[in-house]
Amino acid sequence: EAQVTQNPRYLITVTGKKLTVTCSQNMNHEYMSWYRQDPGLGLRQIYYSMNVEVTDKGDVPEGYKVSRKEKRNFPLILESPSPNQTSLYFCASSFIDGGRNNEQFFGPGTRLTVL
């Protein structure tokens, strides 16, 4: 089954404790992206990757890191989480089409609470 998986689905942590949220896709997509969703703000892009070893900042990258060592995986790293990073996080992937993103496939989401 074609899908994007994220783990964990729920996480409660404390300020400053490093964490990683994993994301994996099995559709051979070039493009992968992380978003955070907050009430009234829609989805805001954190980081994206156009292919292996190619990553770039989105609109809200502060406090986050990513890596793309394999095409299928795109982990999101919070090295020192803070309460303002409490949010719902989505990973997504897509093919690239003529310089634009085509439809994105989303993971189920990770609800993160930082105390």
Partner 1 sequence: AQSVTQLGSHVSVSEGALVLLRCNYSSSVPPYLFWYVQYPNQGLQLLLKYTSAATLVKGINGFEAEFKKSETSFHLTKPSAHMSDAAEYFCAVSDQTGGFKTIFGAGTRLFVKA
Interacting residues toward partner 1 by CB under 8 A? 4, 31, 33, 35, 40-45, 48, 50, 56, 58, 90, 92, 96-104, 106-109
Provide the phi-psi class of 72: left if phi over 0, else alpha when psi is between -120 and 50, else beta: alpha
Which candidate, 18, 45, 51, 16, places its Cα nearest to that of 33? 45
**Residue (63 or 109) nearer to partner 1, CB:** 109
Query: β-pairing, 19-25 with 76-78?
Result: antiparallel
Q: Closest approach of Cβ 16 to partner 1, in Å?
A: 29
Could you tell me the smallest distance in angstroms from the CB atom of residue 23 to partner 1? 12
Task: Closer to partner 1 by CB, 9 or 17: give it.
Answer: 9
Q: Which is nearer to partner 1, 23 or 78 (CB)?
A: 23
Other beta carbons within 10 angstroms of residue 94's beta carbon come to: 19
